[in-house]
């Protein structure tokens, strides 16, 4: 595998997939619309970050894409500066995205005129499988090109299967995801019914897992234990599941019902996550961490969402910042809460500034500043800011900032808030560098 391979789309799935290729010694040329995601990939040996999809295509013989939806796939491949414009004859492109068959057929026809062969290679598996290299690839397109891409599929996944001509992989994947969506709702309803009945959900999990009945399956095995442990870190976004189901020919009434279901999934997730986090009794298990890495990894999770809502994130990270003592996942939760609250305060878009650095007046302390250009708050709102269940949002739970404050205090930190109606809000969080007793 001496030739360079291209990778475009370095998010939740694409980032770990590209990392596995790099770790296997495959030279990579990569691009992502998010500078943070591109920079994270560029830290691996043998990875070169470039400025456009077309530039990736110009330097490789095989190119993988992993993108959110039809519109972005079409733009990356067919827009000016895209793959079709930059790619050389003989290039093989593999789209791992879950998109409509129509989008794949349009892309395949568009690049064919340039002598490029397009394969659809959608995946089964989510973020943990992308990290561990255990993805299952469903391959559609010219069968004769399978041998050329097989070495890379074998690095990123545990298995692949050729299923037919162009867009066959997409059709299989969309049918699969429709089934998975139904199963995920059924598992959630069963777990909720168990809890509401007064039964022990942990015992229920063991009964289903070990009983040999028809209810046990992959989704139940992978997700229920995480929920019972209070781990709600995302492995697949509900909006992407909605997009996948919408790609199938469904009656308008069914699509409308799906949108209602999606809105309620969002609401229930906020409530469940907040309640579980607020009630968390287990102590934080701290260790040395890099606050800048916490910021960068948080933006990998929510950066695209903020950008889609018209929010520009400006970073001022002190690169010489030393380690502090704390729990990275907990601090990431604090930052996610602050960023999403800032987004909600700027419904028409705006800017968020994230700053890290040593505290100017406290030796042995560092600062994390999150400032937005949103609506701001008056004295009454500031006085109640950290109270559980206090919220000014119709769809809010009032738990996000309460949980955040609890985590900050568990780290021995303090937080100052400056807010002026109409002029935004600034959270100035200060942490001791060393272990908090």
Residues known to be catalytic: 173
3-state secondary structure of 67: coil
Q: How far apart (Å, rounded) are the C-alpha atoms in residues 393 and 156?
A: 42
* 240 exposure class (CB count in 10 Å sphere: 0-12, 13-18, 19+): middle
What the block records as the tokens of 106 is: 């349009």
DSSP 196-218: HHT--HHHHHHHHHHS--TT--H
CB 436 within 8 A of CB 288: no
Q: How far apart (Å, rounded) are the C-alpha atoms in residues 392 and 119?
A: 48
Q: In whole angstroms, how large is the CA radius of gyration of the chain?
A: 23
Q: How far apart (Å, rounded) are the C-alpha atoms in residues 268 and 262?
A: 10
Residue 292: partners with Cβ closer than 8 Å, 6 or more residues away:
317, 318, 319, 321, 356
Q: Which strands form 365-372's sheet, in the order they lie side by side?
A: 311-317, 350-358, 365-372, 425-432, 414-419
CA-to-CA separations, 119 to 3, 111, 116, 164, in angstroms, rounded: 19, 11, 10, 10
């Amino acid at each position: 595998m001496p030739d360079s391979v291209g990778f475009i789309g370095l998010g939740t799935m694409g980032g770990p997939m590209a990392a596995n290729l790099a770790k296997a010694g495959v030279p990579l040329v990569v691009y992502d619309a998010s500078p943070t995601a591109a920079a994270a990939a560029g830290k691996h040996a043998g990875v070169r970050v470039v400025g456009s999809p077309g530039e990736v295509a110009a330097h490789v013989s095989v190119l993988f894409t992993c993108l959110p939806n039809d519109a972005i796939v079409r733009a990356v491949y067919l827009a000016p500066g895209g793959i079709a414009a930059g790619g050389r004859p003989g290039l093989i492109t593999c789209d791992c995205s879950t998109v409509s068959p129509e989008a794949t057929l349009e892309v395949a026809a568009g690049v064919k005129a340039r002598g490029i062969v397009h394969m659809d290679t959608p995946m089964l598996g989510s973020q943990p499988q992308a990290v561990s290299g255990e993805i299952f690839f469903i391959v559609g397109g010219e069968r004769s090109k399978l041998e050329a891409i097989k070495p890379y599929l074998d690095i990123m996944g545990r298995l692949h299967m050729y299923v037919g001509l162009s867009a066959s992989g997409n059709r299989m994947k969309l049918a699969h995801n429709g089934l998975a969506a139904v199963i995920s709702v059924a598992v959630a309803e069963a777990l909720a019914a168990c809890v509401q009945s007064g039964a022990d959900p942990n015992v229920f999990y063991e009964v289903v897992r070990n009983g040999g009945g028809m209810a046990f399956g992959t989704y139940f095995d992978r997700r229920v234990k995480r929920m019972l442990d209070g781990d709600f870190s995302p492995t697949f976004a509900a909006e992407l599941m909605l997009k996948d189901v919408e790609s199938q020919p469904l009656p308008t009434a069914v699509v409308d019902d799906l949108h209602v279901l999606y809105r309620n999934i969002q609401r229930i997730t906020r409530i469940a996550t907040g309640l579980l986090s607020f009630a968390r009794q287990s102590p934080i298990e701290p260790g040395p961490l890099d606050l800048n890495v916490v910021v960068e990894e948080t933006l990998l999770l929510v950066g695209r969402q903020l950008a889609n809502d018209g929010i520009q994130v400006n970073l001022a990270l002190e690169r010489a910042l030393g380690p502090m003592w704390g729990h990275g996942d907990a601090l990431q939760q604090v930052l996610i809460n602050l960023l999403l609250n800032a987004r909600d305060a700027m419904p028409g878009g705006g800017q968020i500034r994230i700053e890290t650095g040593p505290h100017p007046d406290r030796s042995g302390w560092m600062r994390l500043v999150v400032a937005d250009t949103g609506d701001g708050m008056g004295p009454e709102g500031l006085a109640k800011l950290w109270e559980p269940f206090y919220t000014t949002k119709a769809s809010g739970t009032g738990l996000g900032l309460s949980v955040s404050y609890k985590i900050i205090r568990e780290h021995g930190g303090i937080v100052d808030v400056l807010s002026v109606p109409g002029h935004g809000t600034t959270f100035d969080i200060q942490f001791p560098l060393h272990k908090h007793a």
